[in-house]
Structures are given as structure tokens and as C-alpha cells.
Amino acid sequence: MKAPITEISFNAEGLKRLGYTKQQFIDEFSKIYPEADLNAYADNMGLISGPTVEKAAATFAPIPPAGPDEKVSDPIGGAAATGKEAKTKEKEGGK
């Protein structure tokens, strides 16, 4: 019998930076972690409710590539950061 995977370490900052809504998060990760209480994880991470994946595909603008020298807004610290810096920050926050 397969052991359920219910203890998951999510990269909260990364998911927020990538613009995941609660519903998108649940839709995507329920296929990977079907036994996990993703609703609780989403709430703990503070993911906001939003459109489903189908709606999101139509309404969300694609995230522009963040090159090493390209500035992107940093939703965590508020200050501008390069793509690499932003990813570094999210890793630090995800520990």
C-alpha cells in the first residue's frame, strides 16, 4: 500500500512571486499530492482566492522573463531586484 504524502515543504514566496492563486495552487498540486490538505496549505501561505486555471490562462498575463540583469519588482521586499536576486530571496524565505 502506498504511503500518502501529506507533509510538504512549499516555497511560499516563490509561489506568490509567480502569481499563484489558491485555486491554481490546488488544481496543480492536487495531481501531485492528492492526499494532502492543500486548502490548509494555501491558507497558511496566504494565497488569495482567484480564478480557476482555465480562467487564469485567459486573464493572467504571462510573466516576463527575468534575465540576470533585468529588473523585476520584488513583491516581498518591495525593492527592485534582478531575476536571480529575486529567486535567491525567495529561497531564503522558503527555508
Partner 1 sequence: MKVNELVCATDLRNTGYGSCVFNPGKIVSAIKVPTNFSIPDAFATSPSQLRTYLDQARLADAPSQRIWPVHGFKAYTSSSEDLVQQTLGYGSQVPIRDGNYRWTFQFTDGGLCLLKALQSHNFQSSRWIFVDDQGVMIGWRRQVATGGSFDLTGIPLTFHAMKWDPNDGANIASYRLYFDFEPQYINKYLGFLPVEGFAIQEITGLQDINLVQSGVSAAGVIKILAKTGCDGSNLYDLYSTQLAAAGLWNAVNTSTGNAITITSVAADANVKGFTVTLSSADPDYPGAANGEVTITLGGPTELDAADISGFEGRPITVVRG
| Shortest spacing between CB 75 and partner 1, in angstroms | 13
| Shortest spacing between CB 27 and partner 1, in angstroms | 13
Between the alpha carbon of residue 36 and those of residues 29, 31, 59, the distances in Å are 9, 10, 28
SS3 for 16-27 is HHCCCCHHHHHH
For partner 1, the binding residues (CB under 8 A) are 2-3, 5, 7-11, 14-15, 17-20, 29, 32-33, 63-66, 68, 83-84, 87-88, 90-95
| Shortest spacing between CB 19 and partner 1, in angstroms | 7
Nearer to partner 1, 9 or 49 (CB): 9
Q: Are 74 and 57 in contact (CB under 8 A)?
A: no
